[in-house]
Amino acid sequence: MGKFTPTPRTTLKRLPERGEYDREAVYEIIDEGFICHVAFVVEGQPYAIPTAYGRSGDTLYLHGSAASRMMRSLSGGIPVCVTVTLVDGLVLARSAFHHSINYRSVVMLGTAIKVEEMEEKSAAFNIFMEHVIPGRWAEVRLPTEQELKATTVLALPLVEVSAKVRTGPPKDDEEDLAFPVWAGVLPLRMMVQPPIDDPALPPEIKAPAYVMNYER
């Protein structure tokens, strides 16, 4: 898949050894998450909005109500910064200063393009749903033309992209290694709980395998 070419905006200045530009490694992080933060500026006011997303090839898709500020603003071609972050553990050092977090994050910069064709919008809905919960799209009622019209879909070409990753134990100063306090990593991961039926669900309809066996 190759690598993303670092630019002045995506080249890591601090702790550059944590930088990752390999396309496959970056996409693994994007594909494991499903919530991103979309940052943009309107009339001098910055906003950072959490939302779901989906990826197809070298394109990230965003969607939302056609009436939303984010969709209206980004449809106008303003610059956007999209981030995805996965937290893998808390890093507890001997000194307060060296406490940290093990994480994987991706920053995507560019200009989103409004998707106008209904066929591509419908395909993007498929991408969104299958990214969050694979297997669902084949079972649900598909979007109507009116629902597609009420939703704005944006495509962000993945060109200016970088990842940053921290792994491993704490990095205490040599003189702190003898300090008598526990140090190490407290791993964290997403836990899936048993599904809860909709109160209006007929009792004969059971949760499908892709729900019962869901994991991230």
Predicted confidence (pLDDT) at residue 87 exceeds the cutoff of 90: yes
- Supply the pTM of this predicted model: 0.91
Predicted confidence (pLDDT) at residue 36 exceeds the cutoff of 90: yes
What are the structural domains of the chain? 16-87+101-168 (2.30.110.10)
Give percent of the chain above pLDDT 90: 92
3-state secondary structure the chain: CCECCCCCCCCCCCCHHHEECEHHHHHHHHHHCCEEEEEEEECCEEEEEEEEEEEECCEEEEEEECCCHHHHHHHCCCEEEEEEEEEEEEEECCCHHHCEEEEEEEEEEEECEECCCHHHHHHHHHHHHHHHCCCCCCCCCCCCHHHHHCEEEEEEECCEEEEEEECCCCCCCHHHCCCCCCCEEEECCCCCCCCCCCCCCCCCCCCCHHHHCCCC
Query: How large is the average pLDDT for residues 68-89?
Result: 96
Give percent of the chain above pLDDT 70: 100
